[in-house]
Structure 1
Amino acid sequence: MVAVGTAGVSAPAWRGGFGRLWSAAVISRFGDALRTTALPLLAVRLTDDPVVIASVTACGYLPWLLFGLLGGAVADRVDQRRAMWAVDTARGVLVAAFALAVGLGHASVPLLLALAFLLTALQTLFDNASTALLPSLVDTEALGGANARLMTGQQLAGGLLAGPVVPLLLGVGASVPFAADAGTYLLAAALVASLRVGPPERESRPAGSTLRAEIGEGLRHLWRDRALRPICLATLMCNIGMGILIATLVLHVTRWLHAGDTAFAAAMTVYALGSLAGGFLAQRIARRVGRVRALLLGGTVQAASLLLMGAVQNLAALFAGMLLLGSMNMVWNVNQITLRQQRSPAPMVGRISSAFRTASVSGAPAGALLGGAAAQAFGLNAPALLAAVLFALAVAALIPAGRADVPVGVPRDGAATVRAAP
């Protein structure tokens, strides 16, 4: 697939496979948003215990600790397109079975925990394969624009469109959001299966090479990279903070602010609107100040947003904080993922991505449980304040990476190769 120039910056063309990958990602994200918004609302109907509610979020992160590195090594070995559509098919069947169980009145906290765990276990392979597949569909110079378009489209569908629909679907039946999510997984699988991408070009593995050795190679590359190592540490701290917030946000809205389910859905919608703005800003900020400095700006604004949310007991303050949080979170994600792709050798993208994701996500389950404990011990606004502290620490940890920044759209020598799709 070719890249097209826009104002001197390469942007991905929609033909050649990127358009279908974008469509699959957007459709799947719409269904995911239905499920992820409905799950905590279903959980608070089953229990009043903040720690138990937070455990649902923790189980959604735990598989990254157990299978994340393995998922990256497998993604570098297999046909990434086939792995993606197979995983989406499996997830569609799994969520359909859960929807049936909920519809029959068998919803329970253990069932919610099991669903969150199994879906994320499959996601460890899907996400690493997706990260590794994208450079085969767009030119290296267009990776930043491609990531921005993917994430912006996902936020448009998942936050702005799906969020307000959840209360309506729940009004029809508790199982309806999950049934819709199952359908989007299957449709996304069909789109990915239709991609015309040649077999991955890989060097022959040395005789006797093992998954364990290949995982170690990815870990060593991540540790030695002067930019990726501090970015990974900073992202770890941010994910602890996000785990704290996400696990308790439903309590923050419905109990501390005394708002209802509609306000919770509205807060998620405002976050999505902020993410859309961030998708348009991510590349512009990176071109002006560099990708690492864009991360510094994003982390600083997010810390201030969380402080506002935790200090002011007002729905308007919550919405303002979620708007800023969403926009700067998008700026952060677009730039750290693009840096990761640009600075990784093509045969190792999956392993380096999995090492980064596993290390950075490892704090999220602890963050989710910490958020529940903080809410129980210090009040329902304490998690937002604690998350603000974590984001401030992330900004401090990121400062050394500024000395290792790379030009926007220009990969380090040997860091990436471009393979045109047939």
Structure 2
Amino acid sequence: MLRRVLPRELGVPFRWLFGSMTVTNLGDGLLLAAGPLLVASLTRDPLAVSFAIFAQRVPWLLFGILAGAVVDRVDRLRLVMVADALRVVVVGLLALLLAFDEVTLPLIYLVFFLLGTAETFADNAASTLVVQLVPRAQLGRANSRIFGSVMITNQLAGPPLGAALFTVAGWVAFGANAVLCALGVVLLLRLRSSSLSRRRPAEHGETPSAPVTVWAQTAEGVRWLLHHPPMRTLALMILLFNITFGASYGVYVLYAQERLGLDGLGFGLLMASSAVGGVLGSAVYGRLEVRFSYTALLRAGLVLETLSHAALALTRSPWVAGAILFAFGVHATIWGTTSTTVRQRAVPDELLGRVTSVYLLASLGGMSIGTLLGGWVGQQWGIVAVFWAAFVGCCLTLPFLWHPMRHIGRAAA
């Protein structure tokens, strides 16, 4: 089974990285349910609930670009380990305070901000490690395995388990997250420095300069992306569509409770339905990658995402909402795998950390903006209005990006 999931072509070092990412993503999945449930237990204000997610995303706006330069300057494996260790400390302290009932909303916002800061560096570095560990021809395969693992652990197993643990005691859910992050650090220790020394040479005949300062390196990465039309389009696409997605995602817990009538465990199961679709997307990605162009996969996914917002606004049935999120999970895995593979193949390794930071800044920065907008819309006009606003935003954005998407497939080639 291990050889089928992680074939020998991906290499033994990738298995250790995959294992570490799997357990830490399971820990993050616990917080996907436990975090909103904790905030919702203290306030019913949609803006206050969505602000917790914003606090976790805003570090990308503050440090995202700088993180890319840091990733390209330091030992990437060590950076991931330090960031994960920071998460162990922060979440462990929150669990301790929860056990003594000493938690307030400002404290929760601070914890989520620190977690987001650690993720800003760790997620960027982990993405670049895949390129160093896996042969170029196997990147699509490796990324599909990672996205499939994320769906199983982060969204399928994690939210229901996190909700169940939270009903037992809040500190149990957050303490479990700290333990899983610590296990992730232990697994990273199995990676040897020699396995990470291989770097992919610069492509397209480019020989990027080697500026001395972090800020000069940061500017070089930004300039590269701005002058590369396919990558520029991909970053703009994820920015705009994550604003609309972030708006609805920030109020999911209130949508599940007030619109669908679900309890905490029901909310966790609803989130898990998206992960089941993600697992399917991971399983079929290899066949889709062979039969369809990257452009076709991206376009189909964005159409599905647009329609999903309207469908969620129209239904009151938990079963229908679960089916919609199942389809969305299929799209999310296929779209995420495609965009990651294109970026890893198109960007020279010397610039990968910096260009990835700009892309992730657009991705999570869009989520940050969207969560605040969604919270404000929900506060003014109700939860359902958030999903209609997301639908309208997608309808306005999709025609604008449809034609430029045709160049993205060429970048991967």
Work out whether the TM-score is over 0.5.
Answer: yes
Q: Which one of 161, 167, 170 corresponds to residue 174 of structure 1? A: 170
Count of equivalent residues: 404
| Equivalent residue in structure 2 for 1:72, among 68, 75, 78 | 68
Give the Cα separation in 2 of the matches to 1:128 and 1:405: 21
- Alignment partner, residue 252 of structure 2: 249
Instruction: Output the CA distance in 2 between the equivalents of 1:89 and 1:5.
Output: 31
For the pair 1:121 / 2:121, whether they are aligned, the reply is no
Shift of 1:24: 0.6
Distance 1:33 1:97, change over 3 A: same
- Report deviation, 1:100: 0.4
Match of 1:402 in 2: 405
AA of the residue aligned to 1:241: T
Give distance in 2, aligned partners of 1:130 and 1:394. Answer: 30
Counterpart position of 1:187 = 183
Question: Is the CA contact (8 Å cut-off) linking 1:234 and 1:397 kept in structure 2?
Answer: no
Superposition deviation, residue 285 in structure 1: 2.4
Q: Which shifted more, 306-315 or 114-123? A: 306-315
Instruction: Report the equivalent of 2:54.
Output: 58
- Could you say what secondary structure the match of 1:162 adopts? helix
**Counterpart amino acid of residue 49 in structure 1:** D
Matched, 1:292 2:295: yes
Return the offset for 1:259: 2.2
Query: CA–CA distance in 2 between the matches of 1:339 and 1:12?
Result: 23
Q: Which of 346, 353, 371 lines up with 1:343 in the alignment?
A: 346
SS in 2 for 1:47: coil
More helix per residue: 2
In structure 2, what is the Cα distance between the partners aligned to 1:208 and 1:217? 8
Letter in 1 for 2:104: S
Name the structure 2 match of 1:159: 155
Change (3 A) 1:5 1:276: closer
Determine the structure 2 residue equivalent to 1:330. Answer: 333
Cα distance in 1, alignment partners of residues 344 and 211 from structure 2: 28
How far is the alpha carbon of 1:205 from its aligned partner? 9.2
The 2-side partners of 1:208 and 1:221 are apart by 14
- The residue aligned with 1:385 is 388
The structural deviation recorded for 1:394 is: 4.3
The residue correspondences of 1:1-400 to structure 2 (distance < 5 A) are 13-198=9-194, 200=197, 209-400=212-403
**1:419 match:** none
**Greater alpha carbon shift after TM alignment, 362-371 vs 204-213:** 204-213
The 2-side partners of 1:36 and 1:319 are apart by: 16
Cα deviation, residue 396, structure 1: 2.6
Q: Secondary structure at the match of 1:83?
A: helix
- Name the SS for the 1:406 alignment partner: helix
Q: CA deviation at 1:11?
A: 6.7
Q: Is the 8 A contact 1:230 1:400 kept in 2?
A: no
* 2:83 and 2:118 in contact (8 A); partners too: yes
Q: Supply the RMSD in Å over aligned alpha carbons.
A: 2.3
Moved more, 142-151 or 377-386: 377-386
Question: 1:124-182 deviations in whole A, cap 9, x for unaligned?
Answer: 11111111111111111111110110110121122222222223212321111110000
Q: Is the 8 A contact 1:147 1:334 kept in 2?
A: yes
SS at match of 2:268: helix
User: Contact conserved, 2:29 with 2:157, CA < 8 A, in 1?
Assistant: no
Amino acid at match of 2:21: A
Unaligned stretches of 5+ in structure 1?
413-422
Task: Give, in angstroms, the shift of residue 206 of structure 1.
Answer: 6.4
- Distance in 2 (alpha carbons) for counterparts of 1:106 and 1:342: 48
In structure 1, give the amino acid aligned to 2:17: L
Task: Measure the CA separation in 2 of the matches of 1:348 and 1:404.
Answer: 21
Aligned equivalent of 2:204: none
Residue 84 of structure 1: CA displacement? Answer: 0.9
What letter matches 1:126 in structure 2? A
Q: Distance in 1 between matches of 2:243 and 2:209?
A: 38
- Where 1:212 maps in the other structure, the secondary structure is helix
Offset of 1:39 from its aligned partner? 0.8
- Cα distance in 2 for partners of 1:228, 1:390 equals 22
Deviation of 1:31 (Å): 0.7
CA distance in 1, matches of 2:406, 2:208: 34
Distance 2:223 2:296 in 1: 25
Give the CA deviation at 1:41: 0.5
Given that residues 128 and 353 in structure 1 are in contact (C-alpha distance below 8 angstroms), is that contact kept between their aligned partners in structure 2?
yes
310-319 or 134-143: which moved more? 310-319
Q: Could you tell me the percent identity over the aligned residues?
A: 29
Q: Residue 231 of structure 2 contacts residue 343 of structure 2 at CA under 8 Å; is this kept in 1?
A: yes
- Residues 147/338 of structure 1: CA separation in 2 closer, same or farther (3 Å cut): same
Unaligned runs of 5+ in 2: 202-206
